[in-house]
Amino acid sequence: MPYLFTSESVSEGHPDKIADQISDALIDNFLAFDAQSKVACETLVTTGQVVLAGEVKSKAYLDVQEIAREVIRKIGYTKSEYMFEASSCGVLSAIHEQSSDINQGVDRTKKEDQGAGDQGMMFGYATNETEDYMPLALDIAHKLLIELASLRREGKKIEYLRPDAKSQVTLEYDDNNKPVRIDAIVVSTQHDDFDSESKMAKKIREDVINILIPRVKAKYKKYAHLFNDKIKYHVNPTGKFVIGGPHGDTGLTGRKIIVDTYGGKGAHGGGAFSGKDPSKVDRSAAYATRHIAKNLVAAGLCDEVLVQVSYAIGVAQPMGLYINTYGTAKVELTDGEIAKRVSQIFDMRPYFIEQRLKLRNPIYSETAAYGHMGRQPEVVEKTFTAPDGKTIKKKVELFTWEKLDYVRKIKQAFGIR
């Protein structure tokens, strides 16, 4: 029976995402100057205020206040009328040293015996319904806000946009679990004040439908037919949206974990990513399971797959590996048998995940908005400056967990041609 499925996204200017980006900028700076840093940092943002808290074990000394301000500046909070502005907001740091009790469960004499930084279960998911092996509703929701942010920075076709925004996409699927049309699109965007609220509502709706949507549609040639004339558009459905960002809502690190992953498809173990160094399996193992899932689908083993791994704190070997192909497997094996072979291909001990995916590099700022999954791997050069003026440049590989570098090994292990 046909059904509807919805996913949402939030922009880089959303309060929770500001918090995520600040936390991950701190991670990157600590790792840039000390690759063995252990960091768990949380950020709170509200009217005119940023609060940094967390635990750190590192040889690096950072100006955390200036790092936070630079993130806020880059996002676009640079005007006093936003009631949250990069140069004038207060930044309070309550970061302290990491607990030695936790650290002794992670560090080992032999690096390969490194224990998991916490207990828990992590999930990875992939589907072949998009080219980047992501759920389509979430993919479109992200693209809507990426294009909206581009329009805001261009400042030509839509001049009144402010940084805070949200999107939501509802798709209709057929009996074969294939998307057949977009049923509804919701876009809520912060904006400058207008003289007339009725003119404002009309203008924003027209610009979203006539400027934003065509730009997004152009990126979806495979699914251009889904953008139909019967889509229900809800543009700023509450009306006026001038007060936004941290002045409108308090933001916290780790509150957008479904936006960060698969938009409600598959499953989620509950652990956030941003603000955590890769010894925290909430982050590293979630990336590793996505890497497995994407390569399994790309190899043709199945059309859709969910991968779960679980850990005990301080223990290197995972508690178990679970795989669910939702009945789409192309091989004559049970999901349990598939999981057993997969565990022989991918070493899921924390140290080996870090090495395989090159996670002890400053690669996390780019993950903190528009999703950690489904992004394009690329090599970039990043520059970091310490409080003493020392500057270092690092070439790093972003989104390594999105690489299709295990397809051949999987095909060989499962006899796929």
Which residues fall in the annotated binding site for L-methionine?
A: 55, 98, 249, 280
Q: Using an 8 Å Cβ cutoff, are 360 and 278 in contact?
A: yes
Residue ranges at the known binding site:
14, 16, 42, 55, 98, 164-166, 240-241, 249, 255-256, 272, 276, 280
Torsion of CA 236, 373, 268, 16, to 10 degrees: -40
Distance CA 410, CA 297 (A): 10
Please name every residue paired with 306 in a beta bridge, in sequence order, or none if there are none.
Answer: 125, 324
Residue ranges at the known binding site for ATP:
14, 164-166, 240-241, 249, 255-256, 272, 276
Angle, CA of 363, 365 and 369, to the nearest 5°: 125
Distance CA 129, CA 143 (A): 16
Q: What are phi and psi of 321, to 5 degrees?
A: -125, 125
Tokens read off for 389: 């003026």
Please name every residue paired with 127 in a beta bridge, in sequence order, or none if there are none.
Answer: 304
DSSP letters along 291-329, please?
A: HHHHHHHHTTS-SEEEEEEEE-BT-SS-SEEEEE-TT--
Distance CA 169, CA 263 (A): 10
Residue ranges at the known binding site for K(+):
42
Q: Using an 8 Å Cβ cutoff, are 243 and 47 in contact?
A: no
Q: Using an 8 Å Cβ cutoff, are 124 and 293 in contact?
A: yes
Residue ranges at the known binding site for Mg(2+):
16
Closest CA to 11 of 76, 66, 70, 68: 76
